[in-house]
Amino acid sequence: MANPLEATVLVLGEQSEIFLGLLKKHFSTIYQLAHIENKEEFLKDNGAEIIAVATSNNVGMSKEMIDALPKLQIIASFGVGYDSIDVDYAKQRGIQVTNTPNVLNDCVADTAMMLTYAVARQLIQANTYVKKGQWTSSFPLTTSLSKKVCGILGMGNIGEAIAKRAEAAGMEIIYHNRTQKNHVDYQYIATLEELAKQADFLILALPSTGETQHIINANILDKMKPSAYLINIARGSVVDEKALVESLKNRQIAGAGLDVFETEPCTESPLFEMENVVLTPHYASGTHETRLAMAELVCENLIHFFNKEPLVTPL
Amino acid sequence: MANPLEATVLVLGEQSEIFLGLLKKHFSTIYQLAHIENKEEFLKDNGAEIIAVATSNNVGMSKEMIDALPKLQIIASFGVGYDSIDVDYAKQRGIQVTNTPNVLNDCVADTAMMLTYAVARQLIQANTYVKKGQWTSSFPLTTSLSKKVCGILGMGNIGEAIAKRAEAAGMEIIYHNRTQKNHVDYQYIATLEELAKQADFLILALPSTGETQHIINANILDKMKPSAYLINIARGSVVDEKALVESLKNRQIAGAGLDVFETEPCTESPLFEMENVVLTPHYASGTHETRLAMAELVCENLIHFFNKEPLVTPL
């Protein structure tokens, strides 16, 4: 590997060793704002020099933070979502923003599929049943995936990756999206209400925006079949969690598999007591391989920026 | 539905309500041997009349049982495996045997894939972590499936159904089988040793026979990578479970996902204490939809037999 670039990158928040290690390999000066005691003083002294920031979607980048860096030209974010970054304001200021799309599609789609399997086949209960020595009679019958309707909300790259897996499992794929996607063969459903009605498994794979906030609310949950499951690997904000809890309590839907929550980390919830709910700690992209690929993509974007080349994955 | 056929079927063992219900719908006389107090007397009195038996692979049909029924012409078994039925002896006696292949392929392949996901992504631990309120820092990184080598032992119909799902998850498929399958594109590996060496996930999908008994033994486990996982949805007998426990204890392999065990039901095992092991109670085909399809196929075979039509799925 070549010497690091003579360049300064300000890192926001606590970031992983993988990510920090790669940044240090690639760039001569790395400031970690989270580890600087007097942040105000640091920003006053150095803010005017900083042209590049590395952050992640769970840390984000506010308008105030952008304002503290008058010379800022690029925000390179780790993660595919960017709801915590004030992208509009950054663009007004002429600051470029990059994210890390696509490299995490496989892992996120795997997580959606795994949660689908786990709720349908009651994997958590089955494993406990065996490991606690309770397997003396037959375990109750569970639910097949094959021939079931997999309704995907949001047919972006991640939605497509989920569809591919669900199709291989013999499911019938339907989807709703703001616009119909001409390059996919799956049946387009014009409204979310209708998608919710038809789906045996309703899988959320849409971005978090102002418009998608609580898009899954009591009204939509009411439309779902009592035998249907909700799977969310998108963002917690797209589901009205209180309404979901009510719907699960009243057995209006059969269960849920959730990787994301309205408040994260989620350390307290009525969901924790529910047997028909499988929960994971927003770890869909959390594999060694994918996190490394994401960190590499952040660095590539920054390298292209410093070399005055077109960015790899600009927003 | 038409009236039941004027025909007698002897049912062996305890069978599910789904299966018994369907038999009763289709045939005028059903004897459940398990519920007859004096079995010897019953067999002496009625054995000579019985020409059709319904059983399942977990109940089986021994040489002695076959001998008790001198007029027997058909054994219709619920399940795809038939290691517990003395098929050779039945054939010698000119008795036809049927099983229920293919209708369970999807569910069994789903279980293989689910266990693969669960061990790679530490699903059991992740769910516990959230539900116990332990999610305060980041959950440790897990393992991606995409680009990993999925080594399938046994490329029958179930093996193919697994390959299709694993391929959709971006895995590279290789396989070993007694003979190379010309109709599949996956890379054939000439020996099991070599398959074990190369696989990141070694998935067992071969039948239980005299030859496959303990085919996965200490020697094969030794060949596996320390980062590799063993998945068994075939039969417990194909794995030397003691050797597997040793291999897991010594971290010679990374973990295992098992739906089948040497002794079933398995109510005691060192495997129960292992975090990197996911266990399910031989329930791969255990969904409402698939068990009904299996019961229907047993009945269809019997109906064809009584109507002197070719059997649907003879062995």
**Along the 315 residues of chain A, how does pLDDT read in single tens digits?**
568 999 999 999 999 999 999 999 999 999 999 999 999 999 999 988 999 999 999 899 999 999 999 999 999 999 998 999 999 999 999 999 999 999 999 999 999 999 999 999 999 999 999 999 999 988 999 999 999 999 999 999 999 999 999 999 999 999 999 999 999 999 999 999 999 999 999 999 999 998 999 999 999 999 999 999 999 999 999 999 999 999 999 999 999 999 999 999 999 999 999 999 999 999 999 999 999 999 999 999 999 999 999 999 999
Chain length of chain B: 315
| pLDDT, mean of residues B21-46 | 94
- Tokens representing A147 are 């021939």
Beta-bridge mates of residue B187: B174
| Calculated CA dihedral for residues B162, B167, B173, B178, nearest 10 degrees | 30
Q: Which residue has the tokens 């769970």?
A: A58
Three-state DSSP state, A85? strand
| pLDDT, mean of residues B187-207 | 98
The pLDDT tens digits of the residues spanning B286-307 come to 999 999 999 999 999 999 999 9
Q: Which of B96, B98, B100 is nearest to B80 (CA)?
A: B100
pLDDT at res. A144: 98
- Tokens representing A203 are 């899988």
How far is it, in rounded angstroms, from Cα B66 to Cα B93? Answer: 9
ipTM above 0.90, yes or no: yes
Give residue B1's pLDDT band: very low, low, confident or very high (50, 70, 90). Answer: low
Asked if the domains at A5-101+288-306 and A105-279 fall in one CATH topology, the answer is yes
The Cα-based distances of A296 to A19, A123, A292, B147, B181 in angstroms read 8, 35, 6, 17, 40
Beta-carbon count within 10 A of A106 CB:
25
Q: Which of residues 86-115 of B touch A (CB under 8 A)?
A: 106-107, 109-111, 113-114
Domain residue spans of chain A: 5-101+288-306, 105-279
| pLDDT, mean of residues B145-166 | 98
| pLDDT, mean of residues B239-247 | 98
pLDDT at res. A3: 82
pLDDT at res. A207: 93
pLDDT at res. B225: 98
CB–CB of A56/A83 below 8 Å? Answer: no
CB–CB of B77/B100 below 8 Å? Answer: yes
Contact pairs from chain A to chain B, CB under 8 Å: 177
Spell out the CATH class of A5-101+288-306. Answer: alpha beta
Sort out which chain A residues have CB atoms less than 8 A from B170's CB and list them: 106
Upstream peptide bond of B314 is cis (omega within 30 degrees of 0)? no
pLDDT at res. A111: 98
Residue among A127, A143, A168 minimizing CB distance to B280: A127
| pLDDT, mean of residues B191-208 | 97
Residue B44 vs residue A75, higher pLDDT: A75
pLDDT of B234 over the 60 cut: yes
Minimal CA separation from B144 to chain A, in Å: 6
pLDDT at res. A101: 93
The pLDDT tens digits of the residues spanning B172-190 come to 999 999 999 999 999 999 9
Longest Cα–Cα distance in chain A: 71
Interface test with B, best of A143, A164, A283, A285 (most B CBs within 10 A): A283
CB–CB of B147/B171 below 8 Å? Answer: yes
Q: Given an 8 Å threshold on Cβ–Cβ distance, is A283 in contact with B139?
A: yes
CB–CB of A281/B129 below 8 Å? Answer: yes
- Tokens representing B269 are 């095992």
- Tokens representing A56 are 């992640």
Beta-carbon count within 10 A of B106 CB:
25
How far is it, in rounded angstroms, from Cα B236 to Cα A234? Answer: 38
Asked if the A105-279 domain carries CATH number 3.40.30.10, the reply is no
Distance between first and last Cα of chain B: 28
pLDDT at res. A48: 87
Q: Given an 8 Å threshold on Cβ–Cβ distance, is A130 in contact with B164?
A: no
Provide the edge-to-edge strand list for the sheet that holds B149-153: B187-188, B172-176, B149-153, B201-204, B229-232, B255-258, B277-279
| pLDDT, mean of residues B67-71 | 94
